[in-house]
Amino acid sequence: MAVNGLLQKGPGGPLVLIGGAEDKDGECRILREFVRLAGGERASIVVITTATRLPGEVGEAYRRVFLRLGAGEVLPVHLDSREKAGDPCHAAFLQRATGIFFTGGDQLRISRVLGGTLSERSLKAASLGGVAIGGTSAGAAAMGEIMIAGGRGGRSPGKNTVKMAPGLGVIGGVVIDQHFAQRGRIGRLLAAVAHNPHVLGIGIDEDTAIIVTPDGRFNVLGSGTVTVVDGRTITHTNASDLHPQPMLALTGATLHVLPQGYGYDFKSQKPYSPGSSF
């Protein structure tokens, strides 16, 4: 799905990107929606635990949650090496799934293990074929063509506040940051967009998700907000200057803050409110 340069490799199926720390014990609005999009009682969900250092514990936790929420079948799969990610037997799990979910942890582990492998190609083919793809925290950050690999939060943005790396490219034209308000990451998202003004910066709070739909929109779901930084309107930045000034200068960027019920239209490149357009 290509929309005005955004979502150049976007999903044909829905995409659920979560800022981390989503509700797993109460109403579970976000995870319940993922199960519904994956097929409900007919859902066959593969949980990819590559990002976490506790794959057994984390995989089992999501298996139990998804089954409790009505999924028909849930299979945790730990791809911890490029050899496994290139194995046709492991890729076959992705090819048969109706939903694929990436856990949190370290997004660099996801890109280093899956990047350029048969499993990555199977993931993209599944997405284009209509399979629901989900990710929380690192699992959300890794979905973009480029991703934030690290950087400090909670401070005024500097030119070197953020470290970037290639992502899996399931969704193009965006860069995603997670645990956004809770860890004070506005500075590093601004820096990421200043260095890459052609992409849309999306910061997702904890227990909050964007639901990207095939019609070229995303809707916000959850208890927090989603911050969108549009770099197309930037009039000046010193992000690439060699001047010793360490702090970031950025003028003209457009910022939107969107709670549940609001969303963003990639076609018009504008946010929208419940029941209307801006």
3-state secondary structure 87-144: CHHHHHHHHHCCEEEECCCCHHHHHHHHCCCHHHHHHHHHHHCCCEEEEECHHHHCCE
| 4-8, 21-25, 175-179, 189-193: least confidently modelled range | 4-8
Q: Exposure of 256 by Cβ count < 10 A (0-12 exposed, 13-18 middle, 19+ buried)? A: middle
CA angle 64, 70, 76 (to 5 degrees): 40
Structure tokens at 150: 């690290």
Residue 211 neighbours by CB distance under 10 Å: 22
| Nearest CA-CA partner of 188 in 166, 162, 210 | 162
Segment 63-74 shows an average pLDDT of 98
pLDDT of residue 15 exceeding 80 = yes
Please check whether residue 247 is in contact with residue 227, taking contact to mean a CB–CB distance below 8 angstroms: no
**C-alpha dihedral sign at 120, 121, 122, 125:** positive
Residues 116 and 268: their CA atoms lie apart, in Å, by 32
Three-class secondary structure of residue 76 per DSSP: strand
The pLDDT value recorded for residue 196 is: 95
Read off the pLDDT of each residue in 99-126 and give the average, rounded to a whole number.
98
Q: Check whether 5 has a pLDDT greater than 50.
A: no
Instruction: Tokens 């801006």: give the residue.
Output: 278
Contact 143, 170 (CB under 8 A): yes
C-alpha to C-alpha distance for 186 and 173, rounded to whole angstroms: 19
Q: Where are the domains of the chain?
A: 15-262
The pLDDT score that the predictor gives to residue 240 is 84
What residues form DSSP beta bridges with 133?
Answer: 15, 100
Please, which residues bridge with residue 277 across strands?
A: 272
pLDDT at 278: 58
pLDDT of residue 275: 82
Residues taking part in catalysis = 137, 179, 206
Is pLDDT at 10 greater than 80 in this prediction?
no
pLDDT band at 156 (very low <50, low <70, confident <90, very high): confident
What mean pLDDT do residues 219-243 have? 94
Fold of 15-262: Rossmann fold (3.40.50)
Query: Mean pLDDT of all residues in the chain?
Result: 93
What's the pLDDT score for residue 136? 98
Q: Tell me what pLDDT residue 153 has.
A: 81
What pLDDT score was predicted for residue 245?
Answer: 78
For residue 192, what pLDDT band results from cuts at 50, 70 and 90? very high
Q: How confident is the model at residue 60 (pLDDT cuts 50, 70, 90)?
A: very high
Would you tell me the crossing angle of helices 55-68 and 29-38 to the nearest 10 degrees? 80
Asked whether the beta carbons of 23 and 35 are under 8 A apart, the reply is: no
> Quick one: what percent of the chain has pLDDT higher than 90?
87
Q: What is the C-alpha to C-alpha distance for residues 221 and 15, in angstroms, rounded to an integer? A: 12
- How confident is residue 277, by pLDDT bands cut at 50, 70 and 90? low
Q: What is the pLDDT, as a whole number, of residue 255?
A: 98
What's the confidence (pLDDT) of residue 9?
41
